[in-house]
Structure 1
Amino acid sequence: MSATAPKPRLNNIFKQLMSIHWWMAGLYVFLLSGGTIFERLQGDGGGRELLLAAHKSVGVLVLLLLGWRGYLLVRVWGRKYAKHLPKLTANWYFKTGLHTVLYLLMLAVPLSGYWLSNAYQANNVNLFGIPMPDLFPVDSEGASQASAAHSRSSKIFAMLIVVHSIAQYRVVIANWRRFSAWLVRIKSKE
Protein backbone atom coordinates (compact mmCIF):
# COMPACT_ATOMS: atom_id res chain seq x y z
CA MET A 1 0.00 0.00 0.00
CA SER A 2 1.54 3.28 -1.07
CA ALA A 3 1.24 6.42 0.95
CA THR A 4 -0.26 9.26 -1.02
CA ALA A 5 -0.27 12.85 0.05
CA PRO A 6 -3.70 14.01 1.16
CA LYS A 7 -5.42 16.38 -1.21
CA PRO A 8 -5.55 19.95 0.07
CA ARG A 9 -8.97 21.08 1.16
CA LEU A 10 -10.69 23.35 -1.31
CA ASN A 11 -12.06 25.54 1.48
CA ASN A 12 -8.70 26.21 3.13
CA ILE A 13 -9.13 29.35 5.24
CA PHE A 14 -5.71 30.71 4.35
CA LYS A 15 -6.50 30.36 0.63
CA GLN A 16 -9.75 32.25 1.21
CA LEU A 17 -7.84 34.94 3.10
CA MET A 18 -5.32 35.31 0.26
CA SER A 19 -8.10 35.39 -2.31
CA ILE A 20 -9.86 38.23 -0.51
CA HIS A 21 -6.46 39.93 -0.05
CA TRP A 22 -5.94 40.12 -3.82
CA TRP A 23 -9.55 41.14 -4.53
CA MET A 24 -9.24 43.96 -2.02
CA ALA A 25 -5.83 44.93 -3.41
CA GLY A 26 -7.39 45.36 -6.85
CA LEU A 27 -10.28 47.35 -5.42
CA TYR A 28 -7.88 49.59 -3.48
CA VAL A 29 -5.89 50.24 -6.67
CA PHE A 30 -9.16 51.33 -8.28
CA LEU A 31 -10.10 53.49 -5.28
CA LEU A 32 -6.71 55.16 -4.90
CA SER A 33 -6.24 55.81 -8.61
CA GLY A 34 -9.88 56.86 -9.05
CA GLY A 35 -9.64 59.20 -6.07
CA THR A 36 -6.48 60.76 -7.49
CA ILE A 37 -8.16 61.26 -10.87
CA PHE A 38 -11.29 62.64 -9.18
CA GLU A 39 -9.24 65.24 -7.26
CA ARG A 40 -7.76 66.49 -10.53
CA LEU A 41 -11.01 66.64 -12.52
CA GLN A 42 -12.52 70.10 -12.79
CA GLY A 43 -16.16 71.08 -13.17
CA ASP A 44 -19.33 69.09 -12.74
CA GLY A 45 -19.08 66.86 -15.79
CA GLY A 46 -20.91 63.56 -16.05
CA GLY A 47 -17.65 61.63 -15.92
CA ARG A 48 -16.86 63.08 -12.54
CA GLU A 49 -20.27 62.13 -11.12
CA LEU A 50 -20.02 58.60 -12.52
CA LEU A 51 -16.52 58.18 -11.07
CA LEU A 52 -17.70 59.48 -7.69
CA ALA A 53 -20.65 57.05 -7.62
CA ALA A 54 -18.37 54.14 -8.50
CA HIS A 55 -15.81 55.32 -5.92
CA LYS A 56 -18.46 55.37 -3.17
CA SER A 57 -19.87 51.98 -4.13
CA VAL A 58 -16.46 50.32 -4.21
CA GLY A 59 -15.63 52.01 -0.89
CA VAL A 60 -18.69 50.41 0.72
CA LEU A 61 -17.83 47.07 -0.90
CA VAL A 62 -14.32 47.30 0.57
CA LEU A 63 -15.79 47.90 4.04
CA LEU A 64 -17.96 44.79 3.68
CA LEU A 65 -15.02 42.72 2.42
CA LEU A 66 -12.89 44.01 5.29
CA GLY A 67 -15.40 42.62 7.77
CA TRP A 68 -15.26 39.23 6.05
CA ARG A 69 -11.47 39.42 5.91
CA GLY A 70 -11.29 40.21 9.63
CA TYR A 71 -13.45 37.18 10.39
CA LEU A 72 -11.19 34.93 8.29
CA LEU A 73 -8.07 36.44 9.84
CA VAL A 74 -9.27 35.67 13.36
CA ARG A 75 -9.92 32.06 12.29
CA VAL A 76 -6.42 31.78 10.75
CA TRP A 77 -4.82 33.24 13.88
CA GLY A 78 -6.86 30.91 16.06
CA ARG A 79 -5.56 27.86 14.24
CA LYS A 80 -2.02 29.17 13.85
CA TYR A 81 -1.42 30.37 17.39
CA ALA A 82 -3.55 27.82 19.28
CA LYS A 83 -0.65 25.36 19.42
CA HIS A 84 2.30 27.71 19.77
CA LEU A 85 2.91 31.42 20.16
CA PRO A 86 4.98 33.31 17.59
CA LYS A 87 8.69 33.96 18.08
CA LEU A 88 8.85 37.61 19.05
CA THR A 89 11.64 38.81 16.78
CA ALA A 90 12.25 42.27 15.36
CA ASN A 91 10.95 41.03 11.99
CA TRP A 92 7.73 39.75 13.63
CA TYR A 93 7.20 43.13 15.32
CA PHE A 94 7.81 44.97 12.02
CA LYS A 95 5.37 42.78 10.08
CA THR A 96 2.74 42.84 12.81
CA GLY A 97 3.04 46.60 13.26
CA LEU A 98 2.86 47.27 9.51
CA HIS A 99 -0.16 45.00 9.06
CA THR A 100 -1.92 46.50 12.08
CA VAL A 101 -1.52 50.01 10.66
CA LEU A 102 -2.59 48.77 7.20
CA TYR A 103 -5.76 47.20 8.64
CA LEU A 104 -6.55 50.35 10.62
CA LEU A 105 -6.16 52.42 7.44
CA MET A 106 -8.26 49.92 5.47
CA LEU A 107 -11.00 50.87 7.91
CA ALA A 108 -10.18 54.58 8.30
CA VAL A 109 -9.98 55.48 4.60
CA PRO A 110 -13.46 54.24 3.57
CA LEU A 111 -15.04 55.41 6.83
CA SER A 112 -13.63 58.91 6.34
CA GLY A 113 -15.00 58.83 2.79
CA TYR A 114 -18.38 57.78 4.17
CA TRP A 115 -18.13 60.67 6.66
CA LEU A 116 -17.29 63.04 3.81
CA SER A 117 -20.31 61.92 1.77
CA ASN A 118 -22.66 62.12 4.76
CA ALA A 119 -21.32 65.56 5.75
CA TYR A 120 -22.55 67.03 2.46
CA GLN A 121 -25.94 65.36 2.17
CA ALA A 122 -28.08 62.69 3.83
CA ASN A 123 -28.59 59.41 1.96
CA ASN A 124 -25.56 60.15 -0.19
CA VAL A 125 -23.93 56.70 -0.20
CA ASN A 126 -25.05 53.77 -2.35
CA LEU A 127 -23.73 50.27 -2.95
CA PHE A 128 -24.23 50.00 -6.71
CA GLY A 129 -27.68 51.59 -6.47
CA ILE A 130 -28.68 50.17 -3.08
CA PRO A 131 -28.99 53.05 -0.57
CA MET A 132 -26.80 52.69 2.51
CA PRO A 133 -27.76 54.09 5.92
CA ASP A 134 -26.18 57.31 7.11
CA LEU A 135 -23.42 56.76 9.65
CA PHE A 136 -22.69 60.44 10.24
CA PRO A 137 -24.89 63.56 10.48
CA VAL A 138 -25.05 66.20 7.77
CA ASP A 139 -22.51 68.83 8.80
CA SER A 140 -21.32 71.31 6.19
CA GLU A 141 -18.73 72.70 8.61
CA GLY A 142 -17.34 69.22 9.27
CA ALA A 143 -17.05 68.48 5.56
CA SER A 144 -13.64 70.15 5.34
CA GLN A 145 -12.39 68.02 8.25
CA ALA A 146 -13.80 64.90 6.63
CA SER A 147 -12.18 65.83 3.33
CA ALA A 148 -8.80 66.37 4.98
CA ALA A 149 -9.09 63.11 6.93
CA HIS A 150 -10.03 61.15 3.81
CA SER A 151 -7.30 62.71 1.68
CA ARG A 152 -4.52 62.35 4.25
CA SER A 153 -5.42 58.85 5.37
CA SER A 154 -5.61 57.62 1.77
CA LYS A 155 -2.19 59.10 0.96
CA ILE A 156 -0.64 57.52 4.06
CA PHE A 157 -2.34 54.24 3.13
CA ALA A 158 -0.91 54.40 -0.41
CA MET A 159 2.59 55.00 0.98
CA LEU A 160 2.28 52.05 3.36
CA ILE A 161 1.07 49.84 0.51
CA VAL A 162 4.34 50.67 -1.26
CA VAL A 163 6.28 49.76 1.92
CA HIS A 164 4.29 46.51 2.17
CA SER A 165 5.01 45.71 -1.50
CA ILE A 166 8.73 46.34 -0.99
CA ALA A 167 8.72 44.12 2.11
CA GLN A 168 6.95 41.42 0.08
CA TYR A 169 9.01 41.91 -3.09
CA ARG A 170 9.38 38.16 -3.70
CA VAL A 171 5.61 37.69 -3.76
CA VAL A 172 5.21 40.75 -6.01
CA ILE A 173 7.84 39.41 -8.46
CA ALA A 174 6.31 35.91 -8.48
CA ASN A 175 2.83 37.29 -9.12
CA TRP A 176 4.15 39.60 -11.85
CA ARG A 177 5.74 36.59 -13.58
CA ARG A 178 2.49 34.63 -13.34
CA PHE A 179 0.54 37.58 -14.72
CA SER A 180 3.03 38.08 -17.58
CA ALA A 181 2.90 34.38 -18.46
CA TRP A 182 -0.89 34.53 -18.44
CA LEU A 183 -0.83 37.52 -20.81
CA VAL A 184 1.54 35.64 -23.15
CA ARG A 185 -0.80 32.62 -23.16
CA ILE A 186 -3.80 34.83 -23.92
CA LYS A 187 -1.94 36.64 -26.69
CA SER A 188 -0.73 33.37 -28.25
CA LYS A 189 -4.33 32.10 -28.49
CA GLU A 190 -5.31 35.04 -30.72
Structure 2
Amino acid sequence: MSTLQPAKKITAPSRINSAFKQLMSLHWVMAGSYLVLFVSGSFMARLPREVFFRNSLYDFHKTLAVLTMAFLTLRIFILLQVWWKKYTKRPPKLSKQWFKTVSLHTSLYIFMWAVPITGFFLSNSYKSDNVKFFGLILPDLFPQNNATIGIARSSHFWVAYTFLAFILLHTASQWKVVRANYRRLVNFLKNQRPIRD
Protein backbone atom coordinates (compact mmCIF):
# COMPACT_ATOMS: atom_id res chain seq x y z
CA MET A 1 0.00 0.00 0.00
CA SER A 2 1.45 3.32 -1.01
CA THR A 3 1.08 6.50 0.91
CA LEU A 4 0.86 9.85 -0.70
CA GLN A 5 3.90 11.98 -0.14
CA PRO A 6 3.37 15.72 0.17
CA ALA A 7 4.58 17.50 -2.92
CA LYS A 8 7.85 19.30 -2.41
CA LYS A 9 7.51 22.99 -2.77
CA ILE A 10 9.64 24.19 -5.65
CA THR A 11 11.07 27.58 -4.91
CA ALA A 12 12.84 29.83 -7.33
CA PRO A 13 16.29 30.94 -6.26
CA SER A 14 16.25 34.35 -4.68
CA ARG A 15 17.19 37.23 -6.88
CA ILE A 16 19.99 38.28 -4.53
CA ASN A 17 21.44 34.78 -4.71
CA SER A 18 21.14 34.84 -8.50
CA ALA A 19 22.78 38.27 -8.72
CA PHE A 20 25.54 37.10 -6.37
CA LYS A 21 26.21 34.13 -8.65
CA GLN A 22 26.37 36.52 -11.60
CA LEU A 23 28.85 38.68 -9.65
CA MET A 24 31.02 35.66 -8.86
CA SER A 25 30.95 34.48 -12.49
CA LEU A 26 31.99 37.95 -13.66
CA HIS A 27 34.64 38.01 -10.92
CA TRP A 28 36.37 34.93 -12.35
CA VAL A 29 35.95 36.00 -15.99
CA MET A 30 37.49 39.37 -15.16
CA ALA A 31 40.25 37.82 -13.04
CA GLY A 32 41.23 35.68 -16.03
CA SER A 33 41.00 38.69 -18.36
CA TYR A 34 43.22 40.86 -16.15
CA LEU A 35 45.73 38.01 -15.85
CA VAL A 36 45.91 37.74 -19.66
CA LEU A 37 46.14 41.55 -19.94
CA PHE A 38 48.98 41.71 -17.43
CA VAL A 39 50.96 38.85 -18.99
CA SER A 40 50.43 40.03 -22.58
CA GLY A 41 51.23 43.64 -21.61
CA SER A 42 54.47 42.66 -19.89
CA PHE A 43 55.43 40.43 -22.83
CA MET A 44 54.63 42.86 -25.66
CA ALA A 45 56.38 45.79 -23.95
CA ARG A 46 59.66 43.83 -24.25
CA LEU A 47 59.20 42.84 -27.89
CA PRO A 48 61.42 44.49 -30.49
CA ARG A 49 59.52 46.59 -33.07
CA GLU A 50 60.65 44.24 -35.87
CA VAL A 51 58.67 41.25 -34.52
CA PHE A 52 55.92 40.58 -37.08
CA PHE A 53 53.10 39.80 -34.61
CA ARG A 54 53.78 42.76 -32.29
CA ASN A 55 51.00 44.97 -33.71
CA SER A 56 48.50 42.10 -33.61
CA LEU A 57 49.39 41.46 -29.96
CA TYR A 58 48.84 45.15 -29.15
CA ASP A 59 45.44 45.05 -30.91
CA PHE A 60 44.48 41.90 -28.96
CA HIS A 61 45.59 43.56 -25.70
CA LYS A 62 43.51 46.67 -26.40
CA THR A 63 40.46 44.66 -27.49
CA LEU A 64 40.58 42.61 -24.29
CA ALA A 65 40.95 45.80 -22.24
CA VAL A 66 37.82 47.31 -23.83
CA LEU A 67 35.91 44.05 -23.30
CA THR A 68 37.02 43.98 -19.65
CA MET A 69 35.76 47.54 -19.16
CA ALA A 70 32.38 46.41 -20.51
CA PHE A 71 32.42 43.54 -17.99
CA LEU A 72 33.36 46.04 -15.27
CA THR A 73 30.38 48.26 -16.14
CA LEU A 74 28.04 45.25 -15.96
CA ARG A 75 29.64 44.12 -12.71
CA ILE A 76 29.17 47.53 -11.07
CA PHE A 77 25.53 47.58 -12.18
CA ILE A 78 24.89 44.11 -10.65
CA LEU A 79 26.83 45.03 -7.49
CA LEU A 80 24.69 48.14 -6.98
CA GLN A 81 21.55 45.98 -7.33
CA VAL A 82 22.86 43.51 -4.75
CA TRP A 83 23.83 46.30 -2.36
CA TRP A 84 20.48 48.04 -2.79
CA LYS A 85 18.51 44.86 -2.03
CA LYS A 86 20.79 43.87 0.82
CA TYR A 87 21.20 47.20 2.60
CA THR A 88 17.65 48.51 2.19
CA LYS A 89 16.50 45.54 4.28
CA ARG A 90 19.24 45.79 6.88
CA PRO A 91 21.97 48.44 7.08
CA PRO A 92 25.55 47.16 7.41
CA LYS A 93 27.29 46.87 10.74
CA LEU A 94 29.87 49.61 10.46
CA SER A 95 32.73 47.68 12.00
CA LYS A 96 36.45 48.05 11.43
CA GLN A 97 36.40 44.85 9.33
CA TRP A 98 33.54 46.19 7.17
CA PHE A 99 35.44 49.43 6.44
CA LYS A 100 38.60 47.46 5.69
CA THR A 101 36.78 45.16 3.25
CA VAL A 102 34.91 48.01 1.55
CA SER A 103 38.11 50.08 1.25
CA LEU A 104 40.03 47.20 -0.35
CA HIS A 105 37.23 46.37 -2.79
CA THR A 106 36.68 50.04 -3.68
CA SER A 107 40.42 50.34 -4.41
CA LEU A 108 40.26 47.25 -6.63
CA TYR A 109 37.34 48.71 -8.60
CA ILE A 110 39.20 52.01 -9.04
CA PHE A 111 42.26 50.14 -10.36
CA MET A 112 40.10 47.97 -12.64
CA TRP A 113 38.98 51.22 -14.24
CA ALA A 114 42.29 53.12 -14.04
CA VAL A 115 44.52 50.50 -15.71
CA PRO A 116 42.63 50.49 -19.05
CA ILE A 117 42.11 54.27 -18.95
CA THR A 118 45.85 54.87 -18.56
CA GLY A 119 46.31 52.38 -21.42
CA PHE A 120 44.00 54.52 -23.57
CA PHE A 121 46.01 57.57 -22.52
CA LEU A 122 49.24 55.86 -23.62
CA SER A 123 47.80 54.65 -26.94
CA ASN A 124 46.16 57.96 -27.80
CA SER A 125 49.33 59.89 -26.90
CA TYR A 126 51.24 58.01 -29.62
CA LYS A 127 48.69 58.52 -32.37
CA SER A 128 44.98 58.92 -32.80
CA ASP A 129 42.54 56.24 -33.96
CA ASN A 130 44.69 53.33 -32.81
CA VAL A 131 42.56 51.67 -30.14
CA LYS A 132 40.57 48.93 -31.83
CA PHE A 133 37.85 46.64 -30.56
CA PHE A 134 37.80 43.53 -32.77
CA GLY A 135 39.04 45.71 -35.64
CA LEU A 136 36.55 48.55 -35.02
CA ILE A 137 38.43 51.83 -34.43
CA LEU A 138 37.22 53.49 -31.23
CA PRO A 139 37.02 57.26 -30.68
CA ASP A 140 40.00 58.79 -28.88
CA LEU A 141 39.61 59.59 -25.19
CA PHE A 142 42.75 61.73 -25.15
CA PRO A 143 44.36 63.98 -27.78
CA GLN A 144 47.51 62.84 -29.57
CA ASN A 145 50.45 64.51 -27.86
CA ASN A 146 54.03 63.24 -28.08
CA ALA A 147 54.96 65.33 -25.04
CA THR A 148 52.73 63.18 -22.79
CA ILE A 149 54.04 59.76 -23.94
CA GLY A 150 56.50 59.49 -21.03
CA ILE A 151 53.84 60.43 -18.45
CA ALA A 152 51.33 58.07 -20.07
CA ARG A 153 53.80 55.16 -20.14
CA SER A 154 54.80 55.69 -16.49
CA SER A 155 51.20 56.04 -15.32
CA HIS A 156 50.08 52.86 -17.12
CA PHE A 157 53.08 50.93 -15.74
CA TRP A 158 52.73 52.09 -12.13
CA VAL A 159 48.95 51.85 -11.98
CA ALA A 160 49.12 48.29 -13.38
CA TYR A 161 51.75 47.17 -10.85
CA THR A 162 49.96 48.89 -7.95
CA PHE A 163 46.79 47.09 -9.04
CA LEU A 164 48.75 43.82 -8.95
CA ALA A 165 49.83 44.60 -5.36
CA PHE A 166 46.19 45.18 -4.38
CA ILE A 167 45.20 41.90 -6.07
CA LEU A 168 47.80 40.12 -3.91
CA LEU A 169 46.33 41.82 -0.81
CA HIS A 170 42.86 40.71 -1.88
CA THR A 171 44.10 37.14 -2.45
CA ALA A 172 45.74 37.09 1.00
CA SER A 173 42.55 38.38 2.66
CA GLN A 174 40.53 35.67 0.86
CA TRP A 175 43.05 32.89 1.42
CA LYS A 176 40.46 30.38 2.69
CA VAL A 177 38.38 30.90 -0.45
CA VAL A 178 41.47 30.57 -2.66
CA ARG A 179 42.43 27.30 -0.94
CA ALA A 180 38.90 25.90 -1.25
CA ASN A 181 38.76 26.77 -4.96
CA TYR A 182 42.20 25.23 -5.49
CA ARG A 183 41.00 21.98 -3.86
CA ARG A 184 37.88 21.99 -6.06
CA LEU A 185 40.04 22.44 -9.16
CA VAL A 186 42.42 19.61 -8.15
CA ASN A 187 39.47 17.28 -7.45
CA PHE A 188 37.86 18.21 -10.75
CA LEU A 189 41.09 17.48 -12.64
CA LYS A 190 41.53 14.15 -10.83
CA ASN A 191 38.01 13.13 -11.83
CA GLN A 192 38.73 14.00 -15.48
CA ARG A 193 41.49 11.39 -15.83
CA PRO A 194 40.45 8.50 -18.06
CA ILE A 195 39.77 5.23 -16.23
CA ARG A 196 42.05 2.44 -17.34
CA ASP A 197 40.93 -1.20 -17.41
The answer to whether TM tops 0.5 is yes
The number of residue pairs the alignment matches comes to: 190
Instruction: Report what 1:8 is aligned to.
Output: 13
Q: Which has the larger radius of gyration?
A: 2
Secondary structure of 1:87's aligned partner: coil
Instruction: Report what 1:138 is aligned to.
Output: 144
Q: Which sits farther off after the overlay, 55-64 or 32-41? A: 32-41
Q: TM-score, normalised by structure 2?
A: 0.89
Shift, 1:84, TM fit? 1.2
* Residues 1-190 of structure 1: pairs in structure 2 closer than 5 A: 1=6, 4=9, 6-8=11-13, 12-188=18-194
- Return the letter of the residue paired with 2:179: I
Q: Which sits farther off after the overlay, 146-155 or 166-175? A: 166-175
- d(CA) in 1 for partners of 2:176, 2:7: 36
CA deviation map 1:150-180 (0-9, x unaligned):
0000000001101101101111111112222
Q: Percent identity?
A: 38
Q: TM-score, normalised by structure 1?
A: 0.92
- Return the letter of the residue paired with 1:79: K
- d(CA) in 2 for partners of 1:141, 1:65: 32
- Return the letter of the residue paired with 1:164: H
Secondary structure of 1:44's aligned partner: coil
- d(CA) in 1 for partners of 2:56, 2:195: 35
Shift, 1:128, TM fit? 1.5
- d(CA) in 2 for partners of 1:189, 1:157: 43
Structure 1 spans left out of the alignment, 5+ residues: none
